[in-house]
Structure 1
Amino acid sequence: MSTFSYILGIVAASFTFIIVIDMLRRQRLRERHAIWWITGAILALIVGIFPALLDAIAAVIGIDVPINLVFFVSIAILVLVCIQHSAELTKTERQIRVLVEESALLSKRVRDLEDRA
């Protein structure tokens, strides 16, 4: 890859890292959501600064084309983000269902008390 590509990678990783940290600071992103984005940005920054490291790791793992390792790791991180969001969505749906049920019970009690009065 050209020097420009590596510089572009370093700039993109740094930009991502800064954006995620800023979103954390402004409380627009929670820590548990940011961890995968920070991990990805740090990995991209390391590979951008030390491109030979990517070649060495790909060779150790047995991957012929190092960029395929980048794609694999990127997809793996995105899958982990999706799993995390699915788990949180499931938890939130459960909480909402419980709240709706409790609200319905309270509404019924209020109506029953009004009918008695």
Structure 2
Amino acid sequence: MKAYHLGLIGAAIALFVIFEMLRRRRLREKYAITWVVLAVVIVLLAAFPRILFWAADLTGVVVPANLLFFGASLLLLAMNVQLSSEVSRLEDKVRTLAEELGLQRLRIEQIERAGEAGEAERAERAEPSDGP
């Protein structure tokens, strides 16, 4: 089996997994677009390997596989940075929500205490006094 066939099979499996994850709602569309584009690029490179040789000649890279690995490394770095920023944003949201929840619980406890104190005060006033 040629490496190109392996690339085509790998891209087909990747596309299947991506669409299956989308269907089961385990992957959001904004992330799926990146993976679908990557799979299409893999299909193009596997179907037309001359594209990689042309790009290597254009950039002055002697070994086309080195250009492929360099591009893959840059892509992984970009995705890591993007996902890290997403995680940071979500952590901020979770912290804000946790603080808001704590404030709401405090307000509820204060209202409950005020209600209990008001009931106790009303109960004292309603009790008949044992007078002389």
Q: Note the C-alpha offset of 1:99.
A: 0.8
Taking structure 2 as the reference length, the TM-score comes to 0.80
Which residue is equivalent to 1:46?
44
- The 5-angstrom pairing of residues 44-83 of structure 1 reads 44-83=42-81
Q: Which has the higher contact order (CA 8 A, sep 6+)?
A: 1
After superposition, the CA RMSD in angstroms is 1.3
The separation in 1 between residues aligned to 2:62 and 2:19, in whole angstroms, is: 35
The separation in 2 between residues aligned to 1:108 and 1:25, in whole angstroms, is: 41
Q: Note the C-alpha offset of 1:101.
A: 0.8
The CA deviation string for residues 8-36 of structure 1, in whole angstroms up to 9 with x for no partner, is 11111111122112211222111111122
Taking structure 1 as the reference length, the TM-score comes to 0.90
The separation in 2 between residues aligned to 1:49 and 1:98, in whole angstroms, is: 49
Give structure 1 stretches of 5+ with no counterpart: none
The alignment covers a number of residue pairs equal to 115
1:25 alignment partner AA: R
2:82 is the counterpart of 1:95 = no
The separation in 1 between residues aligned to 2:56 and 2:114, in whole angstroms, is: 76
Of 91, 103, 106 in structure 2, the residue corresponding to residue 105 of structure 1 is 103
Q: Structure 1 vs Structure 2: percent identity of aligned residues? A: 34
Give structure 2 stretches of 5+ with no counterpart: 116-132
Q: Note the C-alpha offset of 1:80.
A: 2.0
Runs (4+) of structure 1 exceeding 4 A deviation are none
Q: Note the C-alpha offset of 1:64.
A: 0.6
The separation in 1 between residues aligned to 2:104 and 2:13, in whole angstroms, is: 50
Q: Note the C-alpha offset of 1:95.
A: 0.9
2:10 alignment partner AA: A
